[in-house]
Structure formats: C-alpha cells, structure tokens
Chain A
Amino acid sequence: MSRHATTRAARIAAALLGLLAGGAAAAPLEPAPPGLVARDVAERAEDALRSERTYLEAEMTVVSPRLAADRVVAFQNWDDRPGKRSFIRILEPAKDAGSGFLKLHPNLWMFVPRVERTVRIPPSMMLQSWMGSDFTNDDLVKESSALDDYDHRLLGVDPAPEGHEDLRAYVVEYVPHEDAPVVWGRIVTWIETQHSTPLRQEFYDEDGVKLREMTFSRIEEIDGRYYPRSWRMRPLDKEGHETRILVREIRFDAKIDDAVFTKHNLTRTR
C-alpha cells in the first residue's frame, strides 16, 4: 500500500513539474549551445529592430470590448537610438492628426494642435495608456535599456516556439537590476536563432504573475534585417483588449535631421 502511495505521489509531482514547464514553454526546452552569452543574444535582438537612426510609419489598431469598431491610429516615428531621442507624429484619426510626441531623454513632451499647447508628461503619468492603446507612455519613452538595465540568462532553446513552430528560438530571461526604472519583475523573450528576430515577449510582475504578452509576426527581410512587421500586445488582466501595430514602412540607417528632435518641430503642424 505504501508503495502504491509513493508512486501516486511521484505521478502527481511529475504532473506538477510538467505544468510548471508547460507554463514557460509549450515544448520542453533544449539546452543552449555552450559558450553562447545571453547578453549578446539580447543585443542582436535589439539590433534586429532598430538601427542607429530609424524611420517608420505604422498603423496601430486598438481592440476593446467597449468599442463597436476598432480604433485605428496611424503615426510616423523618427528614432535616434544612440541619442536617446525619438519623435512621433500622429496622422490618424483626424481628431489627433498633427499631435506629436517628443522624447528627449528622460523627458516626454506632447503637443496638442487643437489647443496649441505643449505638455510635458509627468513621471506619475508614465504608466497610463498611450493614445488609448494597451501600450503605456513608458513603453514609448523606454526609460530603461533592454541591455544595460537587466541581467540576462539563457533558459534554453525552444525547438518550436508558439506561433512560429517552424523556427527555433533562444529563450532569454531579462531580470531588471535593483535600481532600474522598470515596472516588471522579469521579462522572457523568444529570439529566433538564425536572424535574432524577437518572436515573443512575456512580461511578469514581481510575484511572477504574467501581465502581458507581446507577439511578433510577418517577418520580412528588409535591408538585411529580418524584421517583424506585425506586433501584437495583449494585456492579460484586461479580457478582450488587444493592440496591434502594423509597420507599413521602415527605413533603417535613415538620414534624419537633428532639427526633427526639437520642441520647435513638435509645434510645427502641417
């Protein structure tokens, strides 16, 4: 009888372990190749998405149970990665056309053309929704650096990442430094092994509860980079909410005038 009980306990333990593993990835992870440095993988993933100066035009679709029709926001973005500055001009909807966001590290400015006012978004508002989407102002400013503010750890290789079963991905865990300006407890990122395209990101709070999930798809080769044109953000605490970004146009290593990143440009409406 006692043997019976032990095998049963063992089976339950195995089932529990299986559940835990299943929580992290659909299939069991394979060990990562020896000598591979997690931070290098993370750095290559950053490089896959941004060059030093990048221009893009995108369409953001916000899905919510409270909306009869999805909300669509179109915008242009000029990005200066080493300069930690960024500029966004809203094109659609008509109500917000001409609105601008200027990030000059560590500040974020907003311009509302209808009332002709420039507003600096205070730190207390950083975690609020950006333009009604599931992205926050903080996502926009990216106060933290994915490389310098985190410790990176290779969890293994996922032989069939969810949504991209034909690809293989390194699974990298990002744990923020104590003093880093980060709201997450940890982030787990799936990074494709060949071209370092991020495929998926899971955001956890300090108690280990998964709060949101970002998935990348429609990977295309653009200027030698394998770039995901479609991004999807799902906040897991808000049922039925979802924000998708489709990058309509992207230019890497673009020539961008420094005058773009000025408050003068912010107030210039066309």
Chain B
Amino acid sequence: MPLELRIAWRNVWRNPRRTGLTVAATVFAVVLVMVAVALGAGTHEKMIEDSVRVNAGHVLVSGRDYLEKRTLEQFVEYDEALAERLADAPGVRGVAPRVVSFGLLSEDQSTRGVAVVGVDPRREGDVTTLPGRVTRGRFLTADGEREILLGTRLASNLQADVGDQVLLYSIAYSLETAYELFTVVGVMKLPEVNMDRTLAVISLRDAQSFFVYGDRVSEVAILAGDSDAVPALARNVREAVAGTPTEVHTWRESMPELEQFIILDDAGMYITLAILVVVVGFGILNTILMAVLERQREFGVVLALGLRPRAIFRIVYLESLMLALVGLAVGLAIALPLILYLQAHPVALTGNMAGAVELFGFEPQVTWKLKPLNPLGSIATILGVAVIAALYPAIKASRGRPVDALRSL
C-alpha cells in the first residue's frame, strides 16, 4: 500500500503543468463556493437581524391566534415580573412589550388611518432600533405623557411637525370610543415605506389607558443574542410562559415572507454552485483520463510483469484523490482567511444599489459569515466529485490487456 501511495504521488507530479492546472481549477472552485456560501449566510443573517430589529424580534410572545387576527382581542397579561422572567431566560438580549392597534390620526384638515403601537420607552431600544430612527425631535421618555412619534411620510401627509397637537381616535378594548390629544415629540425615518406612512408610536402606559387595556399587551418581542440560538431561546421562552394562554412564535412564523425569500435565494445560489462543481468534476475527469490514455504502454508493461489490475485501479484512484486533496488544501488555505477578513470588514453599498436595498428596509451593506458547515460541506462536495470523476479512468486503466497495450506503442 505505501508503495502504491508513493507511485501515485510520483505520477501526480510527472506532468506538473497539467496537475497544476487541475489543482488551480479545484482551488478556484473551493474558494468560489466557500465565499459564495459565506456571502449567502452573511446576507441572510443581516436580513434577519435587520428585520427583527425593525419590529418583531427573534421570538414573539402573544395571545392565541394573534398572528392571524391582530386585534385587541388577542393579548398577553403583562407585568414587570413577566418581563424579568423573560429577560432572565438564557440567550435573551432584550424584551419589549407592546400594545398594537389602529386608529385615526387627525391634524387640522387631514386625517389618516394609522397603526398605533404602544412601547415601553426604557425597553424598546433593547430589541428594536426604533429609538435610533428618530430624525427630528426625540424618542419617548419614561415619564412623558401623551407623547407621540410619527413616521416621516405620515408626518408629512398630516402636515404635522414636532410640537403639534394631533387627535388620536379609536375604539377601546371596552368598545368605548377612545380619543385623546397627543403632542408630536419626534419624527422617525422607518425603513419600510408602508410603516413610514402608517406608524404612530406612543408609550405603553398611554396605550394601555387609551385603549382601556389594563395590564394587557398585544405582544412581547424578544431579541436573541445570536440568531443561531433562536430555537433554543424559543424553548426557554415557552417554558417561561408555560401555563398562560399565550403563543410563542419565532421570526420564521412572524415573518414568513422573509423565511420564504431566504429559501428561494438559497435555492438559486445552490443551483449555480452545483453547475460550477460539475464543471470542476469534468476537469478532474479529463486530467486523469488523459494521464491514463498516455500511459497505456506503461500499464501494459507492469501488468505483463505481474502487477494485479486491482493495484493499478488503486494507483489511478489515489492519483485523482491526491489532486483533489491538494486543490482542497490550497483552496481552504486561501478561502478561510479571505472569508474571515471579509466577515470583519463588511462592504458598504453606495449609490443606486444602496437606495434599492434601503427601500426594502435593509442596511446597504454586504456581509459574509463563516458557518462551520461551510468548509465541511465544501470538503465533502469536492472529495465526492473527485471520487466519482476518477471512477471511469481508473476502471479503464485496470481493464487493459498487456498485449493490446504493448502493441499500441
């Protein structure tokens, strides 16, 4: 066996240029596949992160049927003790209770239908980037009363600005009419156009009294420290609220369109990569086959000398595995540091491209993320391709008859 290894290794370097080209193709494939997969992972993670930080959090606790109905009828009984219990669950980075409903918002002559969200001014920033989105005025304060924040487009549609009094009108949980004058304290720039046009934010306390909602909240959004830890976090949260009439959903359920987009995007990427890998596979096949055909006479001689066909099969097979392994080693040596560098240095988008991305509510930034499955998957794929591609040349080499081989001189 060591003898066969040595022979195979020597054979690999008998034609350094051909071997070099094949290795280069493999290296190219490994680097491309790994960087592309890391780009996909990084982009999706960023999308998830941006989306959960706009609104729903990684995990959402709500009343039953809330995701389908979203009315005041679906609620969670909420108090500070529940908030503390949720915040103490392992893996939780932030907890934000909210009251979500709708209403009419009126300023002078114009009126708009709005989504009213009551947030806890001290907690909201732990989960979403809402406080940082205020472009004029300020965010809500813990002891402020009847203060309201408006989306930029909503504010301009209403022709309302910081300091103005606006009338909020709705139907309370008690089915009474609810109306109150609020003072605009800030205007927020929201990434998503529809939100920017309809979102009005008031304090949780004001919302609970406005909607005669008692200690209830519509939802509690929870942010995880790491998006990979979400399933475990969801389990912990389920335990923390066990026994209460609530539902716990992850972002996959609260934002199904995001999950579907990621699946679709992944599918497109993997199809492209599969084509690339097949091309590399044919490259390896070609190299080995050429090497085998060139050495028909040599195989004839060693067969005539009594070497068994099996040994020839093994030698040829080892050659192709060696080619793949060398390619893999060099590829990993280039790809890993490259990805780690890119991961640490995201590329900012500018110009039209940035505008398009922002329109969908995402930060205009290209990010990479190395997940453990990425190098492992690449190794398995390239080795698998080599194993399959070498099959035909190896069989062909071992099947030769010494007489034919010697005649083909």
Contact = CB atoms under 8 A, between A and B. Distances in A.
A125 interface: yes
Interface string A51-85: 00000000000101011000100000000000000
Interface string B307-339: 000000000000000000000000000000000
Contacts of A129: 171, 175
Contacts of A215: none
B177 interface: yes
Interface stretch (A41-49, A113-121, A175-183, A220-228): A113-121
B174 interface: yes
A4 to B, nearest CB: 45
A119 B177 CA distance: 14
A122 interface: yes
Sort chain B's interface into a size bin: 10 to 19
Given A114-B179, A115-B179, A128 B167 contact: no
Interface stretch (B50-58, B81-89, B104-112): B104-112
A71 B177 contact: no
A119 B106 contact: yes
Given A117-B167, A119-B169, A132 B177 contact: yes
A95 B113 contact: no
B198 to A, nearest CB: 9
B171 A128 contact: yes
B171 A119 contact: no
Interface residues of A, number: 26
Contact of B167 (A67, A99, A115, A121): A115
B177 A131 contact: yes
B111 A121 contact: yes
Interface in B150-187: 167, 169, 171-177, 179-181
A202 interface: no
A162 interface: no
Interface of B: 73, 102, 104, 106, 111-113, 167, 169, 171-177, 179-181
Given A110-B169, A122-B111, 15 more contacts: A71-B175, A71-B176, A95-B177, A112-B167, A115-B180, A119-B104, A119-B167, A124-B113, A125-B102, A125-B104, A128-B171, A131-B177, A132-B171, A132-B172, A132-B174
